[in-house]
Amino acid sequence: MKITSTGGAGSIDWSDGGGDSNVATVQDGEHTLAQVAERLGVNADDLQSANPQIADPLRLTAGQEIRLPSSTAGTPKETAADASQGGGNPVYVPDMSKRMDSSLGGDVMRALLNFGAIPIDNPGPGGTTPVSGHSPTGTAAAPGKAPAGSTPDALQALTANADFKNLSEPNQTLVKQTLTGNPPVTGDKVQKTIDLLGASKGLPAADQKLVLEGFQAAKGNPAYADSLKKLVSDPKFTSLTADEKVAVLSQTKNYPDSRSVDNIDRMLHKDWFTSQDLGDKQRSLKTVARLSQYPPNGDATIIGNTLNKFLSPTADYKLEWKSLHVDSGTTYGTGANKVLTLNKDLIDADNAKMPANATTNHLVLNTVSHEVNHLVNDDKVEDNFKYFQAEYRAWYVGFKAEHGRVPTNQEAMEQRIQWQLDPASFYGKHAAEAMKVPAEAQKFYDFLGSMTGKTVDAHNWQTVMNSDPSTWPGHKSSADAPAPAGNSDNH
C-alpha cells in the first residue's frame, strides 16, 4: 500500500500501490518531521521512531519519503491526532480500529461496542487516568450524572441520559462508538460527554452534528468536550448569527483540540473579532485554531505569548485582514500601532480546514509571530543597525515559532542576512544608509563576524557574507545563530 498525502490529515489519499511499505512524502513548506506529523495526524515521536534513517528530523526536503509508524499503516486517520490534549501535555491517542484485532482482541472490542461489562483500565500511552473505584453494586447514577465507577455503569448513565436519548440513532451511535473506541471509558469522560450533549441540545441539527463530529474527531477527549461545552454555552456564542455559529463549530471540528476551542472562545469576546465580517471571521477562526494546536511542533512559548497578545481578556492588540497582494510581491502580513494586518488573499473565507502548504504555513506559523515581535518591541523603520537587528530578531522569532528551534548561522545568513543587506530589498536600502556612518557600519561588521568567525571590515564584508559556509572556522555554519537583542519570545 502506498500513501500519498496531498493535504491535511483529512485528505490522505489511500490507494494500493502494490508494495508493502507505507510512506508519505514531505510537502512544500515542510521542514521538520514534526510538521509532517501534524499534517498526517500522527504522533511526532512515533514518526521519528519509524524513520531512524533520517539523521536530522529538523531538516527535511520536499519530496523526501517518510515511513509511517506501524500503528498508522493500513488505517486512515480521520483527522489530525491531537498531539497535546489536556493541559498541554502530549497525548498519543491510540488507533483502536487497528488494535481491535491486535492488543485487545476482536472479541473484547466487540463486547465493548455492545457495552459488555468489561472494564478497560489501560489508559494507553499518555491517556487519561481512569477514575478509581468501580461501582460494585452497579448503583444507578442520578439523572444526568455519570457515576465515577465502572465502564458499564458510566455507559449506562449515558444511555439513560435524556439528552442522549433525544439524539437521532446515528448520532447516538457516533457518541457511543467514539467513547468505546477510545478507551478508557471513565465516569469523568462520560460526564463531560453528557454535559456537552446538554449544552448543545438547543442547537439546530446541523450545528449539533458539527459538535458531535468534533467530539468524534477529538476521540472523545474530555478536555475537548469540556471546552466545547463552555463555548456553546457562552452568551457570546449564542448571540452569533447562524452562519457565524457554523463557522465557529466548523473550526472546532477541523481542529479538535481543547486549546483551539478555548482560544476560539476567547476570541469571541474580543471587539476586533466581533467587528469583522463573516469572511474575515472565518479567516481568523481557522488561523487561531490552527496556530493554537501547533505546539509542540513549533515553539510553544512564542506561540502562546503571541496568541495572548490578541486573545487574553486584557489584550489590546487587534487582528485585521486586508488584501495586500495588489502590487509586486506577496506581503504575508504587516503590523503597526498594535494592529496585525494579514493578507486576506492567502486564506480562504470558508468553513473548511486550512490546507497545509508553503503559503499557509508561512503565514500562520511564521508571519504571525514575526509581525507580533515587531509590535511588542515597538520597532521602527530607521537607517541604523537597530532596525537591521529588529528585522533579524523578528525573522529569528518567526523561524523559531515555525520550526521549534533556533536557526543555524548558515540558515540565518542564507535565508535572511544576505537579503537584509541586499540593496535590492526594502531592508537593504536602510542598511546601506546606515553603513555610511562608520560607527554603525562597525556594528554590522561585528555581527557578520560573530556569525562567520571571520574578521570583517569595510573592505571584505560582502565577500565574507557571501562566502562558502563550509569555510567558516570552528563549525560556525552549524552553530546557533546569534540570539537577538530585545524581546524575542513575544511576552
Residues that bind other proteins (CB under 8 A): 25, 28-29, 61-65, 325-336, 358-359, 362, 370-371, 374, 379-382, 390-391, 394, 414-416, 418-419, 422, 424-426, 429-430, 466-469
Q: Which is nearer to other proteins, 350 or 378 (CB)?
A: 378
The one-letter code for the residue type at 284 is S
What is the closest distance, in whole angstroms, from the C-beta atom of residue 225 to other proteins in the complex?
38
Q: Which is nearer to other proteins, 235 or 473 (CB)?
A: 473
What is the closest distance, in whole angstroms, from the C-beta atom of residue 358 to other proteins in the complex?
6
Q: Are the C-beta atoms of residues 252 and 228 closer than 8 Å to each other?
A: yes
What is the closest distance, in whole angstroms, from the C-beta atom of residue 63 to other proteins in the complex?
3
Q: Which is nearer to other proteins, 255 or 317 (CB)?
A: 317
Q: Which is nearer to other proteins, 313 or 423 (CB)?
A: 423
Q: Which is nearer to other proteins, 242 or 381 (CB)?
A: 381
Contacts 24+ apart (CB under 8 A), 331-335: 332/362, 332/363, 332/366, 332/367, 333/363, 333/367, 333/368, 333/370, 333/371, 334/371, 335/371, 335/372, 335/374, 335/375
What is the closest distance, in whole angstroms, from the C-beta atom of residue 327 to other proteins in the complex?
6
What is the closest distance, in whole angstroms, from the C-beta atom of residue 414 to other proteins in the complex?
6
In the structure grid, which three cell numbers stand for residue 354, read together?
Answer: 486550512
What is the closest distance, in whole angstroms, from the C-beta atom of residue 353 to other proteins in the complex?
21
User: What's the CA dihedral at 71, 77, 83, 86 to 10 degrees?
Assistant: -110
What is the closest distance, in whole angstroms, from the C-beta atom of residue 379 to other proteins in the complex?
6
What is the closest distance, in whole angstroms, from the C-beta atom of residue 234 to other proteins in the complex?
34
Q: How far apart are CA 233 and CA 442, in angstroms?
A: 60
What is the closest distance, in whole angstroms, from the C-beta atom of residue 120 to other proteins in the complex?
42
Q: How far apart are CA 371 and CA 128, in angstroms?
A: 37
What is the closest distance, in whole angstroms, from the C-beta atom of residue 364 to other proteins in the complex?
14
Cα 57 to Cα 66, 82, 303, 405, distances in angstroms: 11, 20, 21, 12
User: What's the CA dihedral at 377, 380, 386, 392 to 10 degrees?
Assistant: 70
What is the closest distance, in whole angstroms, from the C-beta atom of residue 380 to other proteins in the complex?
8
Chain centre distance of CA 315 = 21
User: What's the CA dihedral at 80, 4, 56, 404 to 10 degrees?
Assistant: -30
User: What's the CA dihedral at 254, 5, 300, 308 to 10 degrees?
Assistant: -30
Q: Which is nearer to other proteins, 358 or 458 (CB)?
A: 358
Q: Which is nearer to other proteins, 29 or 86 (CB)?
A: 29
Q: Which is nearer to other proteins, 189 or 416 (CB)?
A: 416
Q: How far apart are CA 72 and CA 42, in angstroms?
A: 7
In the structure grid, which three cell numbers stand for residue 245, read together?
Answer: 455559529
Q: Which is nearer to other proteins, 87 or 329 (CB)?
A: 329
What is the closest distance, in whole angstroms, from the C-beta atom of residue 218 to other proteins in the complex?
32
Of residues 296, 238, 286, 222, the one with CA closest to residue 260: 286
Q: Which is nearer to other proteins, 418 or 442 (CB)?
A: 418
Q: Which is nearer to other proteins, 37 or 412 (CB)?
A: 412
CB-neighbour burial class of residue 347 (10 A; exposed 0-12, middle 13-18, buried 19+): buried
Q: Which is nearer to other proteins, 205 or 326 (CB)?
A: 326
